[in-house]
Amino acid sequence: MTLSHAAVTVGAGPVSFADVLAVARLDAPIVLDPVALDGVAATRRIIDGLASDVNPHYGISTGFGALATTFITSDRRAQLQASLVRSHAAGSGPEVEREVVRALMLLRLSTLMTGRTGVRPVTAETYAAVLNAGITPVVHEYGSLGCSGDLAPLAHCALAVMGEGRVRDASGRPMSGEDALAAAGITPVVLAEKEGLALINGTDGMLGMLVLALADLTRLLTTADIAAAMSVEALLGTDATFAADLQALRPQLGQAASAGNLRALLEGSPMLASHAGPDDPTVQDAYSLRCSPQVHGAARDTADHAALIAGRELASAVDNPVVTLDGRVASNGNFHGAPVGYVLDFLAIAAADVASMSERRTDRHLDPNRNKGLPPFLAHEVGVDSGLMIAQYTAAGIVSELKRLAVPASVDSIPSSAMQEDHVSMGWAAARKLRHSIDGLQRVLAIEIMTAARSLDLRAPVLPGAATGAVRDLVRTVAEGPGHDRFLSPEIEAVVQLVASGAVTDAAASLAGPLR
C-alpha cells in the first residue's frame, strides 16, 4: 500500500484503511466534504428542535448513563455537556502513542461527518482543525472498558477541542489545550446539546489500533515467510513440501499465499540444490520448517477476517443516541466493542503462534544435534565464544510474554455505571496488548533472520538463493557476520529496525518478485 501526504477527504461515507494510516502516521491533512457538512447541519436542526421540547430526550435534555432519567433545564445544558467531557477524561497511566490518538480522532471525525450524531458543523470543523494543526491530546493507557466505546480516551480528545486538558503540539512539546489552540489560531468549542455524547461515544480507539495492527501484520507475515525460507535453506531442508499441488490439497487461502512466497524465495537456491536428490537423507523436515505455510497462512486468514470486521466498523456511525435517516433520535447499543474486541484478541493469538514457530526455527540453528553440521550456537570458537546462544534466550522470553498476551481481554467483562453498563467489551485493552504482541513478533522474526543469515554465511562456499542472499546482505549492513563474540544487543536492534521499516521485505521482493 503506497501512502502519501495527499489530503484525506472526510465525508458521509467511510474512510479507508489507507486514509487512517495516512493521517495517523504521515500527518496527511484533512479536508471536510462540503456536501457532508450540509448534512451535518440538517441533522443539527433536528436536535435544536428537540432541545426546545418540554419532554425529555436522552443526551439532549437529560443526564447520562445511570442518570438518564434526570431532566436538565436549557440554561444548564452547556455545563452538562462540558461536565460530561471533563468527568469522563479520567484516564491514568502512560501516554499512548501519537499515531493511536490521531487514528482515533480521525475515526471519531468520520462518524461526526455521517450526519447521524447531531453535532454542529463548527464542532466537526474544529475537530478537523486540531488534527490539521498537529495537536495531539494526551490520552492515557488506562480508562476505557470498551463499553460505550472508548469513553475516557475520546473524552481527553474532546477536552482538547474545548481548549482544556493537556496536549502536545506538532513538535511534541507538552502544553495546555488552551495554549495549543491559541497558538494555532483555533477557537475552542463551547459544546451544545448532544455534542458531548457525540464526541466520546465510539469504538474509535480500538478500531484505530486494529487498522494500524493490520498494516503492521501484513508486513510481518510476509517477513515470517522470508525468515522461514532462510531457515529452510540454511538448515538444509527441502522446498518440496511447498509444491503448489500439495498445497492445493488443502485449499486454505492464507496457506496458499504463504507457500507461494516460500517457493518464490527459494527458487533456484544453490544451497537447496547442493543436497537434493536420491542421496539426501532428509525424509521430512521438522514441523517448524515444513508446516510454516500452514501456521503463517492461518495467521493470514485470521488477519483477513479481522480486516473484514474493521471494514464494516469503518462504515459504521457509532453513537448513542443517533439521529436516524427518518429523523428519529434513538438509543441503541452499537457502541459495544465486542466485534472489534474479538478480532483484536484473535490477532494476538495468531501473533503469538507465528512468533513461537519462529523461535523454534532459531533454536534449531544453534543445536549441533539438529543443525546439520553447523557449530554449536553458531559460535566462532566453540567453548570460548557463546555465539547466538543468548539471542535465542531473548526470543524465547518474548514468546513467553506473547503467550500471556494471547489470553483474551474480551472475555473479561467487568460491570460499571451502577450496573447500567453491566457487560463491557474490554476492546481497548485487547488493542493495547495487541500492540505489544506485534512489537514482540517483530523482534522474534528479526532474531531468526539474524541467526539464519549467520547460518547461511557458515555454509560457504555454497551460496544461498538470490532473494534470501539479498536479505543476508542487507543484514550485513548493520550486523557483522560470523566471528568472535561481540556486543550483540545493538545488532539485534538494528535488524529489528530493518524489519520494521520494510527493508527486509523490499530486499527479498527485489529478487523474488512481488510477495503476498
3-state secondary structure of 416: strand
Report the length, in residues, of the chain: 516
Omega before residue 461 within 30° of 0, cis: yes
Positive or negative torsion for Cα 478, 481, 486, 487: positive
Centroid of chain to Cα 420: 31
Which residue in 58, 127, 142, 342 is the catalytic one? 58
Backbone angles phi, psi at 166, to 5 degrees: -115, 140
Give the integer Cα–Cα distance in Å for 135 and 125. 14
3-state secondary structure of 31: strand
Give the integer Cα–Cα distance in Å for 209 and 215. 10
CA distances to 20, 102, 139, 171, 200 from 134, in Å:
15, 9, 15, 8, 20
Nine-digit cell string for 96: 499512548
Which contacts qualify for 385-392: CB closer than 8 Å, 24 or more apart?
385/484, 385/485, 386/485, 387/485, 388/450, 388/451, 388/454, 388/488, 390/488, 391/362, 391/447, 391/450, 391/451, 391/488, 391/492, 392/359, 392/362, 392/363, 392/366, 392/447, 392/451
Tell me the angle at which helices 151-161 and 77-88 cross, rounded to the nearest 10 degrees. Answer: 120
Omega before residue 270 within 30° of 0, cis: no
Q: What is the dihedral of CA 233, 238, 239, 242, to 10 degrees?
A: -130
Give the integer Cα–Cα distance in Å for 40 and 34. 10
Nine-digit cell string for 173: 512539546
Tell me the angle at which helices 121-132 and 34-51 cross, rounded to the nearest 10 degrees. Answer: 130
Nine-digit cell string for 349: 493469538
Question: Is 393 marked active-site?
Answer: no
Which residues have a catalytic role annotated?
58
